[in-house]
Structure 1
Amino acid sequence: MPFEFTVHPIRWDRCPLVASDPHAQAWLLLQSHRGLSSNTLDAYSRASERYLAFLKSACIASVSATRADVGLYLAALQAGEVALANATIQQLLTVVRLFHGYLMEEGTRSNNPAAQTGSGRAMVARQQKLPWIPNEEDWHRILAAARQESIRNRTMLAFAYDAGLRREELCSLQSSDIDPSRRILRIRTESTKGRRERALPYSASSGELLGRYLVHRRTLGSKRGPLFLSESHRNYTEPISIWSWSKIVLHLARRAGVERFSTHTLRHLCLTDLAHSGWDIHEIATFAGHRSVQTTLLYIHLSGRDLSLKLAAGMAQLHARRVQMLAEVAQ
């Protein structure tokens, strides 16, 4: 199967400071020509714009920014009215590091002020929290709220869990990616975070929902292409965007009274269930499209599988020891 390489356009109107800075503009163009997804490219442009806005307010040129300047930028991020998650700050810092790394490669500056130190310590310590998954009560409330959704939304929810799909992978599905006869869906390289194509099975119940949705989809248009279509007046029959899908899930979560439920929750839940069912860590990593099993380990930990096995083994030994002690007392 040929590799599908797409160069996505940059929305320069959303990052005017980047567009006006020759170095930042050249760096962002390079990222576009690397074939990054439109969402990644958009995230890079927004992060670059944010960094350049800080440098402009402090009258600092990107070619002369020091490690102390980057530190002030990080402090400004954390001092904002809206508290940023550690993962968000890590993403913003990554863009700064990549940008300055590019300036070094071009010979514009001699060092990277955002790089790790010689000891390997990062500027911001990475906090790794276990992802949240709903308990049984939350899950039933989510299901009750989902019953009120359209057939398209219910099908998307089913696929998001069944195949453990990321938001972009779900919204980027094409009609040609589905093989109903074998109940297999194809996740294309350009829509994945790890740039790894994979083929995933889906259940019979998801297949039934898909069949009902396809009947409905034919009323919107007969042409093949994006699987999940928008039905809003503004974007009628256009592919549903990740932002629209996020809003749908947000409204569902509010109706269910489970505010922490998000587009990524079903992926977390799926992978945790696979770990709990005894899947090997490498099998889960392949299914999820993880580049590193270190990411997959989160779901092994979250399932409590290893701890449960150790607890069961420990309790069995303790029980046997107590029985032996009682037997000795009875003699």
Structure 2
Amino acid sequence: MKWEAKIIQYKGEKRIAVIFKKDAALIARIKEFQGARWSQSRVLWHLPDTDENRIHFKLPLLASTQPNSEGQQALEKFKQHLRSKRYSESTIGTYSEALRSFLVFYNTKPIAEITNEDIIIYNNEYILKNNLSASYQNQIVNSIKLYFATVQNRKIDIEKVHRPKRAKVLPNVLSKEEVKAILEAHSNVKHKMMLSMIYSCGLRRSELLNLKPSNIDSKRNIVLLKNAKGKKDRIAPLSPKILKMLREYYAEYKPTVWLFEGQTKGEQYSETSLQKILKTAVLKARILKPVTLHWLRHSYATHLLESGTDLRYIQELLGHNSSKTTEIYTHVSTKSIQQIKSPFDDL
């Protein structure tokens, strides 16, 4: 595990301690949590003890935050419905824990009597009053809407709830020179191959690890991504350079079940090990940015856009449902911006 979370007493207040080895990417991530603090004396990061943070770090909820018997039955029915619709266990966990918070708030009220007005009150008196994050608020609102529409079979007018505007966060992008330095940092063929595949095909971490040898079609120069995010199949083109590297890799490692296997044959390569490979490469490349694996995917999309690839094709290559998701790369592409002459140059 990358980190350990536990409840501590800090200056007379309950806090959530998050302990991990020094890692630039994790430090950057922990700083995004509201109220995050570094304790020099205890040598650890600590956060406010809230339901949201407990859920995020997989800590048990307080006894007072457990729903009553009706609420627990409602949660079980909700989980059963999500499983019947083949939602991933991760999504089921996120939605059910968000709904749990709402049901606890109305522990003394029968679910059948909950109205739109109750949801507005919950939004104002719990979410906003406790200064919970916008993303957590949206999770709760989405789970409430889905629960009442499916399990309760009645419509709740969610539009009356004031929902937060999503923060317009630009994706992190590396230059081609930085990407090259990272990909060439490892001498190990497998390590180099895994990072190269992520960048050259714009893959998500899970998509790379779920690849099987049969997913590589060398005659058509494509990789078939089966059951990717959103349970959709898609294809990505394979460059001649990548195909050559894959043949060299295959000849040396002879994978059986998975394209990239751990030390035991037939065992899927772990996410933790893959992250360590990137971390080592970034250090060797002497890049000080808190690079994550997803940065390589962002860089792939941005570099395609800068080389003139149509946004519609990039959307298909990345597997985005909406073109709006892909359009964010137009805001980080420097192709047009670099052509603008600063008035400072004329002074």
Given residue 228 of structure 1, which amino acid in structure 2 is its aligned partner? F
- Tell me the residue number matched to 2:29: none
- Tell me the residue number matched to 1:42: 90
What TM-score do the two structures reach when normalised by structure 2? 0.65
- Tell me the residue number matched to 2:186: 147
The within-5 A match list for 1:68-217 is 68-75=121-128, 78=131, 89=135, 93-94=138-139, 96-107=141-152, 111=156, 115-117=158-160, 122-135=162-175, 138-139=178-179, 141-143=181-183, 146-148=185-187, 150-188=188-226, 190-193=227-230, 195-217=231-253
Name stretches of at least 5 consecutive residues in structure 1 with no aligned partner: 1-12, 316-331
Q: Does structure 1 residue 67 correspond to structure 2 residue 120?
A: yes
CA contact (8 A) 2:98 2:140 kept: no
Given residue 199 of structure 2, which amino acid in structure 1 is its aligned partner? Y
Give CA deviations for 1:130-183 in whole Å, capped at 9, x if unaligned.
111124664465345x325x3222111111111111122111111111012332
With over 3 angstroms needed to count, the CA separation of the structure-2 counterparts of 1:143 and 1:199, relative to structure 1, is closer
With over 3 angstroms needed to count, the CA separation of the structure-2 counterparts of 1:34 and 1:14, relative to structure 1, is farther
With over 3 angstroms needed to count, the CA separation of the structure-2 counterparts of 1:54 and 1:291, relative to structure 1, is closer
CA contact (8 A) 1:290 1:296 kept: yes
CA RMSD of aligned residues (A): 3.8
Structure showing the higher strand proportion among its residues: 2
1:125 aligns to what SS in structure 2? coil
Once the two structures are overlaid, the 10-residue window that deviates more, 282-291 or 94-103, is 94-103
Given residue 69 of structure 1, which amino acid in structure 2 is its aligned partner? Y
Q: Does structure 1 residue 231 correspond to structure 2 residue 263?
A: yes
Q: Does structure 1 residue 286 correspond to structure 2 residue 316?
A: yes
CA contact (8 A) 2:102 2:140 kept: no
CA contact (8 A) 1:229 1:240 kept: yes
CA–CA distance in structure 1, aligned partners of residues 130 and 293 of structure 2: 25
Question: How far 1:292 sits from its partner (Å)?
Answer: 1.5
Which among 2, 6, 21 is matched to residue 72 of structure 2? 21
CA–CA distance in structure 1, aligned partners of residues 281 and 72 of structure 2: 42
Structure showing the higher helix proportion among its residues: 1
1:186 aligns to what SS in structure 2? strand
CA–CA distance in structure 1, aligned partners of residues 293 and 151 of structure 2: 39
CA–CA distance in structure 2, aligned partners of residues 122 and 242 of structure 1: 38
Question: How far 1:78 sits from its partner (Å)?
Answer: 4.8
Question: How far 1:34 sits from its partner (Å)?
Answer: 1.9
CA contact (8 A) 1:161 1:267 kept: yes
- Tell me the residue number matched to 1:265: 295
1:240 aligns to what SS in structure 2? coil
What TM-score do the two structures reach when normalised by structure 1? 0.68
Identity of aligned residues (%): 22
Give the paired residue count: 275
CA–CA distance in structure 2, aligned partners of residues 179 and 76 of structure 1: 55
CA–CA distance in structure 2, aligned partners of residues 250 and 116 of structure 1: 43
Name stretches of at least 5 consecutive residues in structure 2 with no aligned partner: 1-57
CA–CA distance in structure 1, aligned partners of residues 211 and 275 of structure 2: 16
The within-5 A match list for 1:239-258 is 239-253=268-282, 256-258=286-288
